[in-house]
Amino acid sequence: MGFIGENGAGKTTTIKLILNEVRRDGGGIKIFGRDNIRDEEKVKEQIGVVFDESYFYGGLTADDVGRILSRVFKTWDPALYDRYKKDFELPRGKTIKEYSKGMKRKLSIASALAHRPRLLILDEATSGLDPVMRSDILDVLLDFIQDESRGVLFSSHITSDLERIADYVTFLHKGRVVFSRSKDDLTEQYGIVKCGASRFGGLDKSGFLRWRRGGAECEALVADKNEARRRYPGLVVDGASLDEIMLLYIRGEKA
Amino acid sequence: MSGLLLKDFLSVRKQGKTIAWVLAFYLLFFVALDRMGGPKSADSMLTVVISIVTMLAVVLTVNTFAYDEAAKWDVFARSLPVGARGIVGARYLLAVLYSAAGALLALAAALISGRGRIGPDALAACTASGAVPLILCSVLIPLFYKFGIQKARIAVMAVFLIPFVAVMLLKNFGVPVAVSDAQVLLLKLSPVIVLAAVGISFFISCRIYRNREV
C-alpha cells in the first residue's frame, strides 16, 4: 500500500497513530484484527518499521543492533539478519556514525525485516537516497511481498517508487483520505484532459474531478480517460501519473 | 526489557572503559594511601571513593537519557513490542544496577580500609552509596520523561546542590550533622524508603511516558 500526500497531509501522523506514538482524539485502529493499543505488544511483535532516519545511537555497530533486537523480538532470526547485513554490504567493524545515509537506511531495513514481520511500515524510507540505493531497497521490498501473507505500508513523496512496487495507493489530503484504490485502476483509468484556456471555459466540467489553469493551457483530472476521450473528442487526454493526480487534487479547483 | 538494557550498556561501552580505568586508579591510590598513611588517610579516601561511585551511578543513568535524546531513540523504541512499562522499567533497572555496582565498589573499598572488617559507620556509608543514587534517580527520571534532558538540566544541578547546601546551612546554624539516632533510624529504614521512592517514581514515569508524544 503506497501512502501519498503533501507535506503535513498526515502520513507520518497516521503511522505514529498506528504505532501509538501520538495520542488519538477519537476513533480506533485495528491491525491484524487487533486493537493497536489494547494489544500493542502483540501487534508490534509482527510489525517492522523503517523511518526516514536512523534512531540508533551512533556508537553502536550493526552487530550490536542485532544483539539488542534479538532480545526484543521473539521471532528474531539471526541468520536472516546476517544475510541482510551481507547482501547490503554493511561493514562489521564500523559504527553507525561512520555509515553513509544509504547504509543507515539499509541497516534500518535489515533490522526491521529480521524478525519476519507480517507488516512492514516505511515512512519516507527512500527519501534522500540516490537512484541505485533506492532501487536496491525497492528490490528488497518486492522480494518481501512475494509472500502474500505479508504487507507493506509505504509512505513516500517519491511516487515513481510507489508506481513501481505498490498494489494499492491511499492518498491523504489535510488529514482525510481522498481515495484508497488499486494502483493499476488509478494509472490505467485516471486521465488528464488538456486544452487551451479559451476552449476550456465552454466545456461541461461535471465529469472533471479537479482542474487547473496554467497560463494559456488548462488541465483537468478525470476518473475515466476512455470515457473522457468519447466525451471530449478533439481534446488531448493523457494517462495520469500519481504525481499529476496528487497535484491536481491539491492545487486544482472543483465544481 | 533485556534488549533495552543491553542497548544502554553498549551505548556507554567506550565511556565505561574510561570510567573503569579511573576507578581502578582511585582504588590503587586508596590501597597505597592505606598502606602508607594508615587508617585516617584511608578513611578520607573511602569518603572520596563513596562520593565518586554515588555520583557516577547518577551521571551514567542521566547520560543514557542524553544519548537517547540525541539519537531520537524514543521514536524507534516506541515502535518495538516492549510497551511503556518495558521502556521505563529498563531505565529504572539500569539505575538499580549502577547503584548496586557502586555500593559493591564502596563495600570493597571499606573492606580494604577495615582490613576485612567493616565498622557501622563504613557500612552506613556503603548503604547510602547504593540508596542515594536511587533516590536521586527517582526524582530525576520522571522529570526527564516530562521535560526532556535539556529542560531538566536545572533539576540535575538542584538534586546535587540541595543536599550539599542543606548540610552547609545546618552546619552554619550549629545543628549537629554527625550521625544522630534519627539518622541511624533513617538508614535502617532506607531499604523501605528507596523501594517506595523507586516504586512511586516508576509509576509516575510510566504515566508520563504513556501520555508523551514522540
Indicate if A117 and A138 belong to the same structural domain: yes
Rounded CA separation A22/B133 (Å): 32
How high is the ipTM of this complex?
0.89
20-59 of A, contacting B, C-beta below 8 A: 20-23, 40-45, 47, 49, 51, 53-59
Asked if A55's CB is within 8 angstroms of B70's CB, the reply is no
Separation of alpha carbons A104 and A56, rounded Å: 9
At B37, the pLDDT band (50, 70, 90 cuts) reads: low
Print the domain residue range for A19.
2-182
Instruction: Tell me whether B17 touches chain A (CB under 8 Å).
Output: no
Q: What is the pTM of this model?
A: 0.88
pLDDT at residue B95, rounded to an integer? 97
A51 and A170 together in one domain: yes
Residue B40: the pLDDT is 64
Tell me, yes or no, if A63 comes closer than 8 A to chain B by beta carbon. Answer: no
> Among B53, B198, B40, which residue's Cα sits nearest to residue B125?
B53
Same-domain check for residues A21 and A134: yes
Q: Which residues contact A212 (CB under 8 A, 6 or more apart)?
A: A218, A219, A220, A247, A248, A251, A252, A253
The mean predicted confidence, pLDDT, of chain B is: 86
pLDDT above 90 (res B172): no
Q: What is the mean pLDDT of residues B96-117?
A: 88
Nearest to A69 among B3, B71, B75 (CB): B3
Cα(B48)–Cα(B42) distance, rounded to whole angstroms? 10
Cα dihedral B202, B208, B213, B214 sign = negative
**β partners of residue A121:** A49, A153
Please identify, among A136, A159, A182, the residue that sits at the C-terminal boundary of a domain.
Answer: A182
Decide: A253 and A227 in contact? Cβ < 8 Å.
no
Low-confidence ranges of chain A (pLDDT < 50): none
- Interchain contact, A57 vs B82, CB within 8 Å: no
Among B1, B12, B18, B78, most A C-beta atoms within 10 A, so best to mutate, is: B78
- Sheet with A191-196: strands ordered across: A208-214, A217-222, A191-196, A236-239
A100: left (phi over 0), alpha (psi -120 to 50) or beta: beta
Indicate if A104 and A151 belong to the same structural domain: yes
User: Which pLDDT score, from 0 to 100, does residue B176 have?
Assistant: 64
Domain CATH for A17 = 3.40.50.300
Number of folded domains in chain A? Answer: 2
